Structures are given as structure tokens and as C-alpha cells.
């Protein structure tokens, strides 16, 4: 979603509109002029549980109930020192917007991405990618991932597991976590849109586990084609760090770990944080950002405030032509909020932006505004929601004949309406799939659902003092992600992620909690339900 810094977005877009129609590129399919290549610096950085959970004085978890805001301040300064244009954050945990605000940037909480350039959540992005607007009508696509951490493949290798066992783990755990990116992103690159994929992949690269590396690193027991990196390479993604530093013996570029409360005594250090690209973008520089004196660190910063080193890569980028589209600035609003809608139109006469009930047409519009004098191709229209009833809606782009050219959904709630989560039944037989629905979720990158025993909280000192809200939500039995949906359903079954239990749940009383952004702060709890013997 586009961050709530609406004023800055509007100023940027209005300045572009004010520059005159002769300065604007045409819409896709309407004779767009060739784009000029630009320099773009893209960074990936795992900030460790929201950036305020590390105590910099002792390198351990912060045990203060309000967290350690001084550590988050150092995260922000470390980003400044790296001087990126775009950052894919991992473990943003509700602090994505705060980081962007401190930098004076834009933020997508849906994707945990912050940027100097405006961000647009396009129809079809579906939490898989967003656009960064590099010029009016010119975009690049941004995707950001955080793959499952445990079990960690290099630990299996260290402990003597054969290659086939490691491959089975990676193909069953981490490879499915990028199936959406593999399905969607290559097509964007094929259409001429630069695509950047950042993330903590929790996997080494096949480019680093080679015969030459086996000879110099004891923990690399055999060459190994790590499935995630191979699949992405086969899909056309290029590893910017290895493009610039092709020799993994001379320049390992380890990002895990400069030190972590979660590190183990016989740690396996590796390069698991990547900036990948596909389409018209060429890497010409890539550097590790981390603690002064750290291995291969070229951009030092002290005190280093997280348990991963970052990577910042510089690209020559030819922006792609934006598709014809309309995109809401917020996907969840309260009655009375302003709704900003960004459009990229064909520039033909009679084009309008309208608000319709979900699935509606021009005939059911509850608000309509023309794109503007002179039929501009790019702009922003702000609608008031004061007179609208709470419901599911769409912003639509209409042509002169009332044909819908693009749709972008949003949900409108009564002021103060809470998030909700519910099960489809109050009693399930053991092994029966458990369907769960939710409403009014914030739609952040890693919002998730956990099944718990009612009242279960865990009692460790760490669990009851961490600012992340870990207390009360640490002992989850099974879990599933909302996939950034504001409203939706999911089913717990044999394919669900396991926590402190495995499927099927044993007979007993349970509840479902909606938790925020890969953290442990609860937004809603279902009514209790039972699992019984059939």
C-alpha cells in the first residue's frame, strides 16, 4: 500500500502534472517515448524484530517493555550511511512507516519497502510486487521476501547431512515460499519492466557453494546447488553481488552474521541476503554494509544495529512503461478518511476515475471524477469517503464509453471498527480442516494467524518483557499468513506451518489470534472452538 504520507505523494504527482502534457510520456500502447536510463541504488536489510529489539550495550535482546528506540535510530542512520534509493526491509514489524518517516521517504507496509521515490500498489500486485514511480508513467517493480528460517540448511550440512536430505528440506520449505515470485515477476521483466527482488532468503547461493569454496571452507562439505537460488537464476534473476564480485573465494560477502542473540556456538557464516534483478537493469556496484572491520564490509557503520549485514547495489536502470491502471493509496480506511487514487491512463478524452461497490460498473458508481483538463495520462484524484457506507469498494478507471480499464479494491469501515477473526465452526472433529476468516486486518507484509490454547501465554522473562508483544503469543500451535489481505479466509490442515504442535490438533479447546507483521502483537482473537474425537 502507499504509505499515509499522502501529502508528499500528492505534491510529487501534482508537480509532474503541472509540468505540462508535452513533458509526459504516453500511456502503454500509445507511442511512449524511449526512457532515459537512470542510476538506482537498491538495498536489502534485515533489521532484527522491528529494529528496536537489540540491546546495543550487550548484544542481547532488549528487555525493556518499550523496546530500545535508540537501536532503531541507529538502523535509520545505517540506512543513511549506505545512501540507497530503495530499501527492502525484513523483520520490519510495524516500523516500516516509522523508518520512512524519519528518512522523509515513502513506505509500503504491505511489502516492507521504503523509497525516496513514490510507491504504487498496482492491481495484480497482490502483495507480490509494487511499483516505484521513477518518472511520470515510468516504473520499476519491487518485490521483497523473507523466507522461513528453520530448519537452516547449512546447519544440516555442518552436522553431516547428505546433499539429498538438504535438497529435500529446501524444496519442501523454502522453495514454495517463492513460488508466487517465480510465477509473476519474470513476465514483468519480459515486458520491459525492471524488477528488483530483495530479501533475507535464509539460504546460501549455488554461486557460493562451489568446488573452489569446498577447498577453503570446512563447513562447505560439498558443492551444492541451493534450490532457491537456482530457481531464481533459471527464471532470469541476476545476483548483483556476484555480478560485481564473481569470485566467492576471494570475496565471500557474508551477511549472516555479525553477531546475534540467536546465533549458535558453531555458527555457519554465509551470504543469505541478496539484491536480485531481472529485466533492463545492470549492476555496476554492490557492497556489504555492516560493522567496521567486518569481513568484506565496504560501507562501515558503528554501532551496527542488527544481526544481518546489509547489501546495497547500484544499477543502471531503464524504467519501464506503466500499464494503464488505477491504484488506491490505502486499501483499508475509516469513514471520513480521504481516498487518494493514482492513475495512469491512455490520455484519451472522456476518461474518469470512479468509486463503485466491489464488482460494480460505471452504472453503480457512488462517486466520479474526470482525470483532468487536457486528458492527462498521469495524476492523483482524492475522494472523500464521508458520505459512503462501510463496505467493500473499488476505484475504477473508465473510458468515454464507460468501459472499466482497471480496478483497485479497498475496504471502508466504521470509525473505530475492530479487526475480527472467526472460525467457520465451533466444533471440529480431529483431522477436520479448520477454516478461518478475518476482517479489517492492516494488510502488512507478514500479518499472520496462529492457533493457541485459550489463555496460553508462555512465562519466560523474555516473553513477558519484549516490546514486540511476544508475551501471550509465543506458544502458537499452527500458523498461516494472511498474504497481506485486508479480508480473507484460510484453512488450517495438514499443509499448514507447524509451531509447537503438528497436524492434526489433538482434542481440546483452542482459539485463533490475528497477529501483526511477523511479530507477536495481537490485533484480534476468535471465539474459542473445540477439537473432539469423531
The residue with cell 513506505 is 107
The residue with cell 528506540 is 69
Q: What is the pTM of this model?
A: 0.90
Rounded CA separation 475/478 (Å): 9
Confidence bin at 458 (pLDDT 50/70/90) = very low
Spatial contact of 49 and 468, defined as CB atoms under 8 Å apart: yes
Confidence bin at 17 (pLDDT 50/70/90) = very low
Mean pLDDT for the chain overall: 91
Could you report the per-residue pLDDT of 182-220, keeping only the tens digit for each? 999 999 999 999 999 999 999 999 999 999 999 999 999
Q: Which domains does the chain have, with CATH numbers?
A: 38-321 (3.60.10.10), 325-413 (2.60.40.2840), 420-532 (2.60.40.2840)
| DSSP state letters, 10-53 | HHHHHHHHHT-GGGSPPPTTS-PPPPPPEEEEEEEEE-SGGGTS
Q: What is the pLDDT of residue 457?
A: 60
Q: What angle in degrees, to the nearest 10, is found between the helix axes of 179-190 and 227-234?
A: 20
Residues 6+ apart with CB under 8 A from 195: 129, 140, 141, 142, 143, 185, 188, 189, 237, 277, 278, 279, 281
Own/partner contacts of 425-428, CB < 8 Å, gap of 24 or more, are 425/529, 426/527, 426/528, 426/529, 426/530, 427/529, 427/530, 427/531, 427/532, 428/529, 428/530, 428/531, 428/532
Which cell numbers in the block locate residue 358? 466491489
Residues 6+ apart with CB under 8 A from 304: 74, 78, 258, 259, 290, 291, 292, 294
Could you report the per-residue pLDDT of 62-96, keeping only the tens digit for each? 988 889 999 999 999 999 999 999 999 999 999 99
Total length of the chain: 534
Q: What is the pLDDT of residue 475?
A: 86
Rounded CA separation 48/309 (Å): 11
| DSSP state letters, 230-272 | HHHHHTT-EEHHHHHS--TTT-----B-S--TT--TT---B--
Spatial contact of 309 and 85, defined as CB atoms under 8 Å apart: no
Quick one: 30 exposed, middle or buried, by C-beta within 10 A (0-12, 13-18, 19+)?
A: middle
Q: What is the pLDDT of residue 473?
A: 73
Q: What angle in degrees, to the nearest 10, is found between the helix axes of 227-234 and 163-173?
A: 60
Rounded CA separation 426/361 (Å): 38
The residue with cell 491512455 is 346
Rounded CA separation 320/131 (Å): 10
Instruction: Considering only the C-alpha atoms of the chain, give the largest distance between any 2 of them, rounded to a whole number of Å.
Output: 72
Residues 6+ apart with CB under 8 A from 507: 430, 530, 531, 532, 533
Confidence bin at 20 (pLDDT 50/70/90) = very low
Rounded CA separation 97/238 (Å): 29
| Closest of 324, 321, 328, 323 to residue 381, by C-alpha | 328
Cβ density class 402-428: b for 16+ within 10 Å, e for less: eebbbbbebbbbeeeeebbbbbeeeeb
Amino acid at each position: 500500500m502507499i504509505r499515509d504520507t499522502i501529502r508528499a505523494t500528492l505534491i510529487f504527482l501534482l508537480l509532474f502534472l503541472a509540468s505540462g502534457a508535452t513533458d509526459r510520456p504516453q500511456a502503454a500502447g500509445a507511442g511512449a517515448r524511449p526512457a532515459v536510463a537512470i542510476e538506482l541504488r537498491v538495498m536489502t536489510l534485515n533489521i532484527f524484530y522491528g529494529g528496536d529489539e537489540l540491546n546495543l550495550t550487550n548484544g542481547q535482546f532488549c528487555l525493556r517493555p518499550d523496546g530500545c528506540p535508540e537501536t532503531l535510530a541507529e538502523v535509520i542512520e545505517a540506512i543513511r550511511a549506505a545512501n540507497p534509493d530503495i530499501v527492502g526491509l525484513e523483520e520490519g514489524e510495524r516500523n516500516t512507516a516509522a523508518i520512512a518517516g524519519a528518512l522523509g521517504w515513502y513506505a509500503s507496509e504491505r511489502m516492507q519497502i521504503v523509497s525516496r521515490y513514490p510507491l504504487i500498489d498496482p492491481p495484480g500486485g497482490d502483495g507480490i510486487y509494487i511499483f516505484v514511480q521513477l518518472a511520470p508513467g515510468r516504473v520499476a517493480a519491487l518485490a521483497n521476501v523473507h523466507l522461513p528460517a528453520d530448519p537452516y540448511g547449512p546447519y544440516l550440512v555442518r552436522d553431516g547431512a547428505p546433499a539429498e536430505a538438504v535438497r529435500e528440506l529446501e524444496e519442501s520449505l523454502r522453495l514454495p515460499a517463492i513460488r508466487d515470485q517465480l510465477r509473476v515477476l519474470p513476465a514483468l521483466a519480459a515486458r520491459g519492466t525492471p524488477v528488483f527482488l530483495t530479501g533475507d532468503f535464509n539460504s546460501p547461493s549455488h554461486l557460493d557453494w562451489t568446488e573452489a569454496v569446498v577447498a577453503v571452507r570446512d563447513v562447505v562439505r560439498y558443492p551444492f546447488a541451493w534450490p532457491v537460488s537456482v530457481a531464481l537464476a533459471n527464471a532470469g534473476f541476476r545476483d548483483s553481488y556476484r555480478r560485481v564480485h564473481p569470485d566467492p573465494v576471494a570475496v565471500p560477502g557474508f551477511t549472516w552474521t555479525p553477531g546475534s542473540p540467536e546465533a549458535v556456538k558453531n555458527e555457519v557464516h554465509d551470504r543469505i541476503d541478496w539484491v536480485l534483478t531481472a529485466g533492463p537493469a545492470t549492476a555496476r556496484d554492490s557492497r556489504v554494509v555492516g560493522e567496521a572491520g567486518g569481513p568484506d564490509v565496504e560501507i562501515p557503520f558503528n554501532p551496527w544495529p542488527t544481526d544481518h549485514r546489509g547489501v546495497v547495489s547500484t544499477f543502471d536502470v531503464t524504467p519501464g512503461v506503466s500499464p494503464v491502471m488505477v491504484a488506491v493509496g490505502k486499501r483499508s480506511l475509516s469513514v471520513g478518511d480521504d481516498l487518494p487514487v493514482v492513475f495512469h491512463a491512455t490520455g484519451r478524452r472522456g476518461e474518469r476515475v470512479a468509486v463503485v461497490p466491489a464488482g460494480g460498473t460505471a452504472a453503480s458508481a457512488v462517486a466520479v471524477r474526470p482525470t483532468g483538463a487536457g486528458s492527462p495520462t498521469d495524476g492523483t484524484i482524492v475522494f472523500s469517503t464521508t458520505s459512503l457506507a462501510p463496505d467493500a469498494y473499488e476505484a475504477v478507471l473508465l473510458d468515454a464509453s464507460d468501459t472499466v480499464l482497471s480496478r483497485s479494491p479497498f475496504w471502508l469501515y466504521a470509525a473505530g471498527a475492530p479487526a475480527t477473526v472467526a472460525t467457520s465452526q465451533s466444533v471440529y472433529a480431529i483431522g477436520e480442516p479448520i477454516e478461518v476468516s478475518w476482517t479489517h486486518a492492516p494488510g502488512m507484509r507478514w500479518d499472520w494467524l496462529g492457533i493457541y490454547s485459550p489463555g496460553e501465554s508462555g512465562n519466560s522473562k523474555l516473553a513477558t518483557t519484549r516490546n514486540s508483544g511476544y508475551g501471550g503469543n509465543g506458544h502458537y500451535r499452527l500458523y498461516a499468513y494472511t498474504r497481506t489481505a485486508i479480508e480473507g479466509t484460510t484453512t488450517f490442515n495438514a499443509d499448514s506451518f507447524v509451531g509447537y504442535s503438528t497436524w492434526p490438533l489433538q482434542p481440546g479447546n483452542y482459539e485463533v489470534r490475528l497477529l501483526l507483521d511477523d511479530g507477536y502483537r495481537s490485533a484480534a482473537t476468535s471465539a474459542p472452538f473445540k477439537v473432539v474425537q469423531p
